[in-house]
Amino acid sequence: MDDIDKMLIGLLQEDATQSYATLGKAVGLSGGAAHERVRKLRERGVIRRTTIEVDPVALGRGVVAYVLVDGSTWMGDSAGRLSAIAAVEEAHVIAGPATLLLKVRTGSTQELQEVLRRVFEVDGVTGTQTVVVLETFFERGPQASSPTLKYP
């Protein structure tokens, strides 16, 4: 992936509805060449999907929590059970104080409690620690062209 590909990804992350002509002009290519590059990025799996960002509060899902899950067995096999819980937005096998880290989004703390009950029903789960988010300053996904950190 070269700098032009990274610039195209950055532009698409800002606004995925831009025309290929607009994208091409921004990076010094024709619309057709920009389209071809984006097509190849999709084929290689660099661009996984094109979607919209929705305000979770507008959907009635304003409570965000991160749940550390302790397990008595390897929890990597529990992805299917966890993905069946719609409020679980992310699930990660981690190294550290727990086995799994879940990102959960619900409409209320009562709904969060129900999600935690369902997590406890997953085979091997022995405990959870939950951190409820009070305010989110920002969220972002991976950036194609992020500044390089320099250390003194």
Contacts 24+ apart (CB under 8 A), 1-4: 1/41, 1/46, 3/145, 4/28, 4/29, 4/37
pLDDT tens for each residue of 10-38: 999 889 999 999 999 999 999 999 999 99
**Rounded Cα distance, 38 and 17, in Å:** 13
Query: Which domains are assigned to the chain?
Result: 3-43 (1.10.10.10), 63-132 (3.30.70.920)
pLDDT tens for each residue of 44-83: 999 999 888 889 999 999 999 999 999 988 887 888 899 9
Give the type of residue at 75. Answer: M
**Rounded Cα distance, 12 and 84, in Å:** 30
